[in-house]
């Protein structure tokens, strides 16, 4: 069964076709130039509406995990840095999170679990293969940001990050990022400190429409989501893939991001 993707526009199910090869080439070029690519209208409108209808009523303090905490940009202690280092400046993140086990059978579950999507992403990133996570909580999440809430500066664990916007707010909710702020060999703590102090001229931002698939280099790209303005919350799903099979979150990571271990 094919997932609710606009396969006429994005023929991922035909990887040897001229159209799909051209799409991969364009995504690679965008990644090289901007550190990300966007596929507008990736998810079909009726599937977006169904997903929002099924998840939005549960994005509240009673049914979702309220991820609200102060943290540094690394989301973890950094023993190599002295206490008070400006790269460890604390920021605040707040959102509602539904885990994958709460969204089984939804259209976003169908899209995430469809192997041709992982194969396509692997091609755009020059990986031999990418694998969905078996983790029942972390494999994909649906996150909601009501008025005043946002995701603050951080780096991701995985090399690339894949998101699918389900609902855009009236105002705010921009995706703000700084590509290649660090490398695997250079943590660039001074550059991180400048970013957190608002002194980095290379910071960029963009607003996406519902249905847009966004892929960016999350491990070394610092990024955040601006606070939402207005009564329409931002709703987004985050897909997590790795270049090796079987990756699971630790119990501590599950507690920190989801408030439960299983």
Answer whether residue 73 is part of any domain. yes
Answer whether residue 4 is part of any domain. no
Q: Which residue has the tokens 């610092």?
A: 222
Nearest CA to 7 among 30, 38, 55, 41?
41
Q: pLDDT truncated to tens, each residue of the chain (262 aa)?
A: 899 999 999 999 999 999 999 999 999 999 998 889 999 999 999 999 999 999 999 999 999 999 999 999 999 999 999 999 999 999 999 999 999 999 999 999 999 999 999 999 999 999 999 999 999 999 999 999 999 999 999 998 777 889 999 999 999 999 999 999 999 999 999 999 999 999 999 999 999 999 999 999 888 999 999 999 999 999 999 999 988 999 999 999 999 889 999 8
Answer whether residue 234 is part of any domain. yes
Answer whether residue 12 is part of any domain. no
Nearest CA to 10 among 117, 109, 115, 112?
117
pLDDT at 158: 76
Look at the chain and report how many structural domains it folds into.
1
What is the Cβ-side half-sphere exposure of residue 28, based on CA atoms within 13 angstroms? 13
User: The domain that contains 30 carries what CATH number?
Assistant: 2.60.120.620
- Alpha helix (H) ranges present in 41-101? 45-55
Sequence-distant (6+) residues with CB within 8 A of 258 are 65, 67, 97, 99, 137, 138
Answer whether residue 100 is part of any domain. yes
Dist CA 29 CA 25 (whole Å)? 6
pLDDT at 262: 86
Answer whether residue 8 is part of any domain. no
User: Dihedral (C-alpha) 230, 237, 95, 87: value to the nearest 10 degrees?
Assistant: -110
Residue 116: domain span: 18-258
pLDDT at 256: 86
pLDDT at 72: 96
pTM of the model: 0.92
Answer whether residue 137 is part of any domain. yes
What tokens does 162 get?
Answer: 């894949």
pLDDT at 5: 98
pLDDT at 124: 97
For residues 74 and 154, the answer to whether their CB atoms sit within 8 Å is yes
Answer whether residue 10 is part of any domain. no
Question: Helix, strand or coil for residue 88?
Answer: helix
pLDDT at 50: 97
Question: Helix, strand or coil for residue 39?
Answer: strand
């Amino acid at each position: 069964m094919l997932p609710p993707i606009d396969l006429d526009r994005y023929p991922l199910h035909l990887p040897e076709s001229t159209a799909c090869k051209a799409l991969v080439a364009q995504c690679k070029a965008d990644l090289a130039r901007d550190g990300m690519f966007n596929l507008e209208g990736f998810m079909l409108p009726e599937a977006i509406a169904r997903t929002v209808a099924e998840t939005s009523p549960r994005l509240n303090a009673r049914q979702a995990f309220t991820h609200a905490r102060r943290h540094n940009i690394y989301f973890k202690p950094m023993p190599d840095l002295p206490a008070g280092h400006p790269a460890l400046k604390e920021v605040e993140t707040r959102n509602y999170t539904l885990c994958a086990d709460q969204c089984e059978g939804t259209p976003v579950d169908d899209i995430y679990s469809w192997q041709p999507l992982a194969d396509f992403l692997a091609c755009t990133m020059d990986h031999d293969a990418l694998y969905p996570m078996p983790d029942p909580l972390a494999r994909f999440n649906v996150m909601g940001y009501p008025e005043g809430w946002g995701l603050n500066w951080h780096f991701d664990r995985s090399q690339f990050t894949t998101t699918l916007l389900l609902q855009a707010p009236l105002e705010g909710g921009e995706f703000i990022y700084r590509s290649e702020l660090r490398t695997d060999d250079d943590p660039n703590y001074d550059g991180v400190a400048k970013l957190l102090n608002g002194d980095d001229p290379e910071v960029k931002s963009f607003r996406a429409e519902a249905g847009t698939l966004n892929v960016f280099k999350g491990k070394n790209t610092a990024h955040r989501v601006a606070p939402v303005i207005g009564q329409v919350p931002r709703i987004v799903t985050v897909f997590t893939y790795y270049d090796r099979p079987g990756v699971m979150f630790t119990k501590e990571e599950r507690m920190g991001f989801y408030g439960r271990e299983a």
